[in-house]
Amino acid sequence: MTGIAAGPVNRLRPRRSCLAVPGSNPRFLEKAQGLPADQVFLDLEDACAPLAKEGARHTIVDALNNGDWTGKTRVVRVNDWTTHWTYRDVITVVEGAGPNLDCIMLPKVQDAQQIVSLDLLLTQIEKTMGFEVGRIGIEAQIENAKGLVNVDDIAAASPRLETIVFGPADFMASINMKSLVVGEQPPGYSADAYHYILMRILMAARANDLQAIDGPYLQIRNEDGYREVAGRAAALGFDGKWVLHPGQVELANEVFSPSQEDYDHAELILDAYDYCTSEAGGKKGSAMLGDEMIDEASRKMALVVAGKGRAAGMTRHSKFEIPEA
Ligand code: GLV
Ligand code: MG
């Protein structure tokens, strides 16, 4: 199933830290601009009280048009399709600030049709307003059992999709998980209660060339806890995690960037592979880098790490030396 949006857009933006900012709070909107988060999302959903939503749409338009968001991916989270707010959220924000907005985040996605509906609405607004059709991306939050069961279809529903995002708070409530501490393991279960969910989301994302993002960790003063939960998602292959507090931004950037050593090594593997497959290197399919054999599969793994390091603005400390014949 696909919507009608089209157009080549670079969908793989850095998203190590995705900062949540309540759309109704101009002070927070101002402060967010100075933080080193890769992404900000201005929230019209759960961080915005029902009576504040209408005003927040306009506050967000103003912040997007007049703020300085240089270097950040700019996202607005609208309300989900089971509410009556969604269409006005999208129309007000995209008509008002479309060129200054990168993605719409849709929460509590339950099936592919909900993504297609958003895609169609975005296309109509873009055409009406004369904006580039298909430029605005979609981030889909998986926050309940139905969404997870349908995540493969959801991830393939539109070329606008950029990320699949896990929403642990709503998800834990939706499956009756016996814990009130979002992101922490429920007491009484010795294994990782999130493993299946995270892997399911990661597979759907990767099968469709999308990013996978982990959701919030609500104990905002517990840095060790954040590091541990974020580290688990990063180890599996997730690209980033939400941050709810300035103190979590640097932690996320660190956890989701490769170490300097891994980054340098990845760049060396790419150089060694390029050299050995070239004319000068003898057009070989594999080579040695020190004691390590490098082939096409190693190149692919190195590309992932190097790609994350480059996106994080890392500079290499290693130099490739042409091996002696
Ligand atoms: C985020 O939206 C969550 O529900 O965890
Ligand atoms: Mg939620």
My answer on whether 286 and 243 are in the same domain is no
- In a domain, residue 10? The reply is no
Total tally of structural domains belonging to the chain:
2
- The amino acid that residue 105 corresponds to is M
Q: State the CATH number of the domain containing residue 154.
A: 3.20.20.60
Q: Provide the residue range defining the domain that includes 284.
A: 260-311
My answer on whether 176 and 287 are in the same domain is no
My answer on whether 289 and 240 are in the same domain is no
Alpha carbon distance 175, 83 (integer Å): 21
My answer on whether 278 and 233 are in the same domain is no
User: Within 10 Å of residue 70's Cβ, how many Cβ atoms?
Assistant: 6
- In a domain, residue 198? The reply is yes
- CA dist 317 → 180, 213, 302, 304, 313 (Å): 45, 29, 16, 18, 13
My answer on whether 113 and 250 are in the same domain is yes
Which pLDDT does position 266 carry in this prediction?
A: 93
List per-residue pLDDT tens for the chain, 325 residues long. Answer: 333 333 334 456 889 999 999 999 999 999 999 999 999 999 999 999 999 999 999 999 999 999 999 999 999 999 999 999 999 999 999 999 999 999 999 999 999 999 999 999 999 999 999 999 999 999 999 999 999 999 999 999 999 999 999 999 999 999 999 887 888 889 888 899 999 999 999 999 999 999 999 999 999 999 999 999 999 999 999 999 999 999 999 999 999 999 999 999 999 999 999 998 888 888 888 888 888 888 888 888 898 889 888 888 889 998 888 877 6
| Contact present, 89 and 48 (Cβ < 8 Å) | no
Atom of ligand 1 nearest to the CA of 107: 2
Does the beta carbon of 170 lie inside 6 Å of ligand 1? yes
Last residue of a domain, one of 216, 238, 255: 255
Does the beta carbon of 215 lie inside 6 Å of ligand 1? yes
Residues with CB under 5 A from ligand 2 (ion): 143, 167, 170
Place of tokens 């008002």: 96
My answer on whether 190 and 270 are in the same domain is no
My answer on whether 133 and 91 are in the same domain is yes
Atom of ligand 1 nearest to the CA of 45: 2
Ligand closest to the CA atom of residue 215: 1
Element (H, E) at 75: strand 73-77
Beta strand spans in 144-272 (E): 161-166, 211-214, 240-243
Does the beta carbon of 67 lie inside 6 Å of ligand 1? no
Closest residue by CA, ligand 1 atom 2: 167
- Cα pseudo-dihedral 67, 45, 48, 14, rounded to 10: -40
Does the beta carbon of 167 lie inside 6 Å of ligand 1? yes
Place of tokens 């999208």: 90
Q: Pairing relation of β-strands 103-106 and 73-77?
A: parallel
Q: What is the pTM of this model?
A: 0.89
